Amino acid sequence: MSLYFEIQRRRTFAIISHPDAGKTTLTEKLLLFGGAIHVAGAVKSNKIKKTATSDWMEIEKQRGISVATSVMGFEYRNFKINILDTPGHQDFAEDTYRTLTAVDSVIIVVDTAKGVESQTRKLMEVCRMRNTPVMIFVNKMDREGKDPFDLLDELESELNIAVRPLSWPINQGYTFKGVYNIYKQNLQLYTPNKQTISESIELIDIHDQELDVLVGERDAKKLRDDMELIHGVYDDFNQEKYNAGELAPVFFGSALNNFGVKELLDCFVEIAPSPRSVKSQEREVNPYEETFTGFVFKIHANMDPNHRSCIAFVKICSGKFERNVNYKHIRQGKMLRFSSPTAFMAQKKETVDEAFAGDIVGLPDTGNFKIGDTLTSGEELHFKGIPSFSPEMFKYIENADPMKTKQLDKGIHQLMDEGVAQLFINQYNNRKIIGTVGQLQFEVIQYRLLHEYGAQCRWEPVSLFKACWIESDDPIELDNFKKRKAQYIALDKHGRDVFLADSGYVLQMAQNDFKNIRFHFTSEF
């Protein structure tokens, strides 16, 4: 098959949402349709010893939340679909932000009762920065929630994007009867079942009397009135606006009961973009170019606890990646060959001989890679767009078992390479400070150091407000600043200068007093 055809049939997307909106459950159901799994793991139930396919880390199974992004690929209707299930919890937002640099489109899951929540807003901002096409799935329609029209208004105002419903619910909660698929003009009647799929009924004309028989006269009338209102208020679906990230199609359903998910997937494979062009510092890279390019957007340590191995996740931006072929590692300036690149189904992985633009491959990493590294067939390219955000919580990390110093250092080094948190070494007292975006990260780091590296750490408090990267064209002023703020100057893992401000006031004063110093709140500058 031609390179063009292979790339054309790729769909790579992330599922994002606030915690508990049902993101991991939706991922499971999509995998069920793709035949990738044959029984859905009940995410919430502790009685059933199956856990969600995409939550495979020990700590994820214990907490019932997603901690790291999972990558899963499957075939559906002659399309190759790559799903990235991201953590919803804000403490792991950093992982999600980076994942969004590696996808061509996004599905946002919204809980019908809670509407748009804070984390959803933040993630939408990242999508807007990159003009990523967005689809919205309103979940949990089998529970009482907000009025669908109110919810659409809220989506438009809170997410700052035009919406267009492509399916519409008939009631919700106890009286939920199903959805009318506006895109395909058929009716889906609701039967709650976690494993099977509801039947669809062709209904070309919504004024057909059959509708009254199927859902009752009152509900049939309401559906007709709603449809009239939708066509009057909302513009027709426009493919170009969707591709530009200006219009979001909206679907309704219940992921847990497998309802409305197939409509979402069927429409998604038809309208979602195939791999898009990616900007590098030198030029724009077209996915259909013959030569291979890709970048590392995530590194995961210890996917297999029996082997202390890291895996670098590479998003292929153009051309075709082949096993046992030499590719250039741009930052190190050397050629590397990969004998066992892998494709993923969460933790299960298989060796692949080739992969195309849009695919995600895992490369065994012995310390060669950092997040953001570029691999090419030989051309000097640098992909940009993988920022680290300024952390908001800080603690000193101390060794609790002096016999395990090596293990602790290796563990910290590998986990920081993963990008789960950031390491700063205070230049005043040489102590290590870990900065994260959320409290839960500290628990995850401590747990993983102990269980994956056999190293024990303890946390000690440090009172800091913000970390910002500093640079200046005036070396004398930079030197003066470092002397004056000696206690608060640190280096990050790349050896760059960081100012650890202990309060907002101190930061503001520093910015006022030192006009020639630039203070950056993301590491990409």
How far is the CA of 118 from the CAs of 18, 89, 90, 286, 435, in angstroms? 7, 11, 9, 35, 22
Listed residue (69, 23, 12, 17) closest to 420, CA to CA: 69
Picking from 346, 376, 406, the residue at the C-terminal end of a domain is 376
pLDDT tens for 288-313 read 999 999 998 887 765 555 555 678 88
Query: Which residue in this structure is represented by tokens 């793709």?
Result: 34
Q: Which of 314, 343, 376 is the last residue of a domain?
A: 376
Which of 88, 102, 80, 97 is CA-nearest to residue 7?
80
What's 253's DSSP letter? -
Do 70 and 20 share a domain, yes or no?
yes
Q: Is 204 domain-assigned?
A: no
Same domain (yes/no): 261, 294: no
pLDDT of residue 316: 92
- Sheet strands (E) in 319-465: 320-322, 326-329, 334-337, 342-345, 348-351, 354-356, 360-365, 374-376, 393-399, 422-426, 432-436, 457-461
Write down the residue that tokens 């530009």 correspond to. Answer: 244
Domain identity same for 153 and 18? yes
Q: What is the pLDDT of residues 203-215, one digit of tens each?
A: 656 777 777 888 8
Residues 367 and 487 in one domain: no
Residue 428 token pair: 């005043």
Residues 395-401 have a mean pLDDT of: 92
Residues 294 and 314 in one domain: yes
pLDDT of residue 370: 81
How far is Cα 469 from Cα 43, in angstroms, rounded to an integer?
40
Same domain, 51 and 153: yes
Residue 434 lies in a domain: yes
- Tokens, residue 359: 């695919």
Tell me, yes or no, whether 230 lies in a domain: no
346 Cα distance to chain centroid: 14
pLDDT band at 1 (very low <50, low <70, confident <90, very high): low
Out of 62-71, 78-87, 157-166, 507-516, pick the least confident: 62-71
pLDDT at residue 267 is higher than 80: yes
| More confident of the two residues 251 and 51 | 251
CATH for 412? 3.30.70.3280
Helices (H), 405-474: 405-418, 439-453
* pLDDT band at residue 110 using 50, 70 and 90 as cut-offs: very high
Q: What angle do CA 141, 144, 148 make, to 5 degrees?
A: 60
Mark whether 262 and 288 lie in a shared domain: no
Which sign, positive or negative, has the C-alpha torsion 42, 44, 49, 50? positive
Q: Average per-residue pLDDT in the chain?
A: 82
Same domain, 255 and 344: no
Is 262 within the bounds of a domain?
yes
CATH, residue 330: 3.40.50.300
pLDDT classification of 499: cutoffs 50, 70, 90: very high
How many CB atoms are located within 10 Å of the residue 181 CB? 23
Count structural domains, the chain.
3
Q: Look up tokens 């994002």; give the residue.
A: 16
Please say which residue of 348, 376, 404 terminates a domain: 376
Tell me the residue range of the domain where 312 lies.
278-376
The pLDDT of residue 204 is 59
Residue 490 has pLDDT above 90, yes or no: yes
Nearest to 248 by CA among 114, 116, 380, 58: 116
pLDDT of amino acid 291:
92
pLDDT at 44: 37
The sign of the torsion formed by the CA atoms of 386, 390, 395, 398 equals positive
Average pLDDT over residues 232-240: 90
Which of 274, 267, 226, 224 lies closest to 248, judged by CA? 267
Cα–chain center distance at 9: 21
Same domain, 64 and 29: yes
What token pair was written down for 453? 């590296």
- Residue closest to 21 by CA, chosen among 124, 114, 157, 155: 114
Q: Is 195 a member of any domain? A: no
Q: Which two tokens stand for residue 520?
A: 């950056």
Place of tokens 């359903």: 253
Mean local confidence (pLDDT), 221-226? 90
Q: Which of 56-60, 260-264, 302-306 has the lowest mean pLDDT?
A: 56-60
pLDDT of residue 386: 60
| Dist. CA 311–CA 341, nearest whole Å | 10
Nearest in space to 443 (alpha carbons), one of 57, 41, 14: 57
Give yes or no: residues 368 and 400 share one domain: no
Model confidence at 239: pLDDT above 60: yes
Per the CB < 8 A criterion, the answer to whether 272 and 80 are in contact is no
Cα gap 382→331, rounded to integer Å: 9
Q: Are residues 33 and 89 in the same domain?
A: yes
- Residue 397's SS3 state is strand
pLDDT the model gives residue 351: 84
pLDDT at 373 over 80: yes
Same domain, residue pair 128 and 40: yes
Tell me the per-residue pLDDT of 431-485, one tens digit each, with 9 for 90 and over: 999 988 777 778 888 888 888 889 999 999 999 998 989 999 999 999 999 999 9
Residue 205 falls within a domain, yes or no? no
Residue 202 lies in a domain: no
178: Cα within 13 Å, side-chain hemisphere: 21
**In this structure, is residue 192 part of a structural domain?**
no
| Percent helix / strand / coil, the chain, rounded to 5 | 30, 30, 40
Query: Tell me, what's the pLDDT at 194?
Result: 54
Interatomic CA distance for residues 26 and 252, integer angstroms:
12
